[in-house]
Amino acid sequence: MIRLVTTDFSELHEDTAAGEALVMFVACAHSMLDPTTPEEQRRRLEPRLLAQLPTLRALGVFELFDVRNPALAALLADEE
Q: Write down the pLDDT at residue 78.
A: 93
Q: Write down the pLDDT at residue 19.
A: 81
Task: Return the number of other C-beta atoms located less than 10 Å from residue 32's C-beta.
Answer: 20
Q: Write down the pLDDT at residue 35.
A: 94
- Rounded mean pLDDT of 21-26? 93
The domain ranges of the chain are 17-78
The 10s digit of each residue's pLDDT in 40-78 is 999 999 999 999 999 999 989 999 999 999 999 999 999
The 10s digit of each residue's pLDDT in 5-16 is 444 444 444 455
pLDDT band at 38 (very low <50, low <70, confident <90, very high): very high
